[in-house]
């Protein structure tokens, strides 16, 4: 990477990390803390409140992706972070789970993922873009691990409302990074070409990736409805969950760096993707077997390590492929569609996880997530990594 590419990658990874830290700090404690609010005795409603921000993100990703193509990436990112901060403030003062649901919906309306990843694609070459996306993915994964370590003591000190206040402050810090650190975007995005959305919808390989990210985040969000309770059942107090999560995440980064980048350079990205999807399905089957009357802590830790290995590979490679396969003039639109499906997966996972845990328990939940991963493997088998026509750029 050139110095400019490193600066772009690090600054945009920081924006993602600041925003996701606010979301992740809430994730491991939300189901437990929301039960103390009026309406918190309904797991389905709590799961809906956890995942609803994914639904509003899904609604806004394509419009904001198109807006970033037309009016500029940075303007859209700043506006989205401001909306996210406003939703966080409302969540901090929410008196009930129903009010939390509405505030989380407003948080999701600040959908900046498409604009951020499109800007990263604008500022990096194809040959190093997966590294840039991996840096973003690694920052998200590390942020996730840090949040799992920090969330319990912060919740004890600040409460759930205080965590949402901290989330608002982190969003404002993200705006400062955009304005003061992120490199200037290419001037050609001041006026966007029309027809970008149609070009993004017509590409068959993009749709396999779009459906894949929907499944990935449905599975991920569903898992976290059940996994914290399994760790408690295995004898690990809530405040100590980071002792499992942090080593699993850090070790998975080493595996990703040792597997993804060398094999990508040798032209083996497709088998790596398919292998990661297959591993995701096997992890879900393993969690279903481990979710018995007496789950083993070591077994859960090993399965979470394997989950993060597959998740990190898929999170780094798929948006990079979207940016390569889409016509350059439609990157924002294509990444908007991709992030729409990602956001729908977050919503579906939260809602589905709560309903399934209530109806059939964690073993039934993991049977469904395993089936989804195997369906994704079947749909993705025909993926061909063909570059967008040169004339489209």
pLDDT given at position 207: 80
- What is the token pair recorded at 232? 């408690």
Is 87:110 a contact under the CB 8 Å cutoff? yes
Position 197 pLDDT exceeds 70: no
Taking the C-alpha atoms of residue 214 and residue 346, their distance in angstroms, rounded to an integer, is: 8
Instruction: List CB contacts of 347: < 8 A, sequence separation 6 or more.
Output: 51, 52, 53, 54, 55, 57, 58
Position 388 pLDDT exceeds 50: no
128 belongs to a structural domain: yes
191 belongs to a structural domain: no
Q: Report the pLDDT averaged over residues 343-367.
A: 84
What 3-state DSSP class applies to 326? coil
CA dihedral 263, 266, 270, 275 (to 10 degrees): -30
Q: Around Cβ 250, how many Cβ atoms within 10 Å? A: 15
Q: What's the burial of 363, exposed, middle or buried (CB within 10 Å: 0-12/13-18/19+)? A: middle
Q: Residue 35 carries which DSSP code?
A: T
Taking the C-alpha atoms of residue 258 and residue 264, their distance in angstroms, rounded to an integer, is: 11
Taking the C-alpha atoms of residue 263 and residue 267, their distance in angstroms, rounded to an integer, is: 6
Q: Which pLDDT band, with edges at 50, 70 and 90, does 350 fall under?
A: confident
Cα-trace Rg, the chain = 20
- What is the token pair recorded at 344? 């729908």
Position 393 pLDDT exceeds 80: no
Number of domains in the chain: 1
The domain that holds 48 is classified in CATH as: 1.20.1250.20
93 belongs to a structural domain: yes
49 belongs to a structural domain: yes
190 belongs to a structural domain: no
270 belongs to a structural domain: yes
Taking the C-alpha atoms of residue 347 and residue 335, their distance in angstroms, rounded to an integer, is: 18
295 belongs to a structural domain: yes
Position 369 pLDDT exceeds 90: yes
Taking the C-alpha atoms of residue 243 and residue 239, their distance in angstroms, rounded to an integer, is: 9
Task: List, for residues 311-340, the tens digit of each pLDDT value.
Answer: 888 887 787 777 777 766 666 777 778 878
pLDDT given at position 306: 93
Taking the C-alpha atoms of residue 223 and residue 227, their distance in angstroms, rounded to an integer, is: 6
131 belongs to a structural domain: yes
Structural domain range at position 85: 3-181+196-386
Q: Which pLDDT band, with edges at 50, 70 and 90, does 264 fall under?
A: low
Task: List, for residues 7-49, the tens digit of each pLDDT value.
Answer: 888 898 889 888 888 887 887 778 778 878 888 778 778 878 8
Position 189 pLDDT exceeds 80: no
């Amino acid at each position: 990477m050139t110095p400019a590419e490193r600066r772009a990658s690090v600054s945009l990874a920081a924006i993602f990390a600041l925003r996701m830290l606010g979301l992740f700090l809430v994730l491991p404690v939300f189901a437990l803390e929301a039960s103390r609010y009026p309406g918190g005795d309904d797991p389905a409603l709590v799961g809906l409140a956890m995942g609803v921000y994914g639904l509003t993100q899904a609604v806004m990703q394509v419009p904001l992706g198109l807006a970033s193509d037309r009016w500029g990436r940075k303007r859209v990112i700043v506006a989205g972070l401001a909306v996210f901060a406003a939703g966080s403030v409302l969540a901090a003062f929410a008196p009930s789970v129903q009010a939390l649901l509405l505030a989380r919906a407003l948080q999701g309306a600040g959908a900046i993922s498409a604009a951020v990843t499109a800007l990263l694609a604008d500022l990096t070459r194809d040959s190093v873009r997966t590294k840039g996306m991996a840096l973003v993915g690694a920052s998200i994964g590390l942020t996730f691990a840090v949040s799992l370590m920090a969330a319990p003591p912060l919740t004890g000190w600040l409460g759930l409302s205080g965590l949402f206040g901290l989330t608002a402050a982190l969003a404002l810090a993200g705006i400062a990074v955009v304005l003061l650190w992120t490199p200037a975007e290419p001037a050609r995005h001041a006026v966007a070409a029309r027809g970008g959305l149609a070009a993004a919808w017509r590409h068959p390989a993009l749709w396999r990736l779009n459906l894949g990210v929907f499944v990935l985040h449905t599975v991920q969000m569903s898992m976290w409805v059940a996994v914290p309770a399994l760790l408690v059942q295995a004898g690990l107090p809530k405040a100590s969950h980071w002792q499992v999560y942090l080593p699993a995440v850090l070790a998975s980064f080493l595996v990703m760096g040792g597997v993804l980048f060398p094999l990508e350079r040798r032209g083996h990205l497709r088998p790596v993707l398919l292998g990661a999807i297959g591993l995701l399905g096997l992890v879900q089957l393993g969690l279903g077997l481990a979710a018995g009357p007496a789950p083993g802590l070591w077994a859960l830790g090993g399965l979470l390590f394997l989950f993060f290995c597959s998740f990190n590979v898929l999170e780094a490679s798929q948006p990079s492929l979207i940016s390569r396969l889409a016509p350059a003039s439609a990157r924002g639109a294509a990444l908007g569609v991709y992030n729409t499906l990602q956001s729908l997966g977050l919503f579906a996972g939260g809602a589905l996880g709560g309903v399934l845990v209530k109806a059939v328990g964690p073993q039934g939940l993991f049977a469904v997530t395993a089936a989804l991963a195997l369906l994704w493997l079947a749909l993705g088998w025909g993926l061909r990594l063909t570059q967008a026509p040169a004339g489209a750029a």
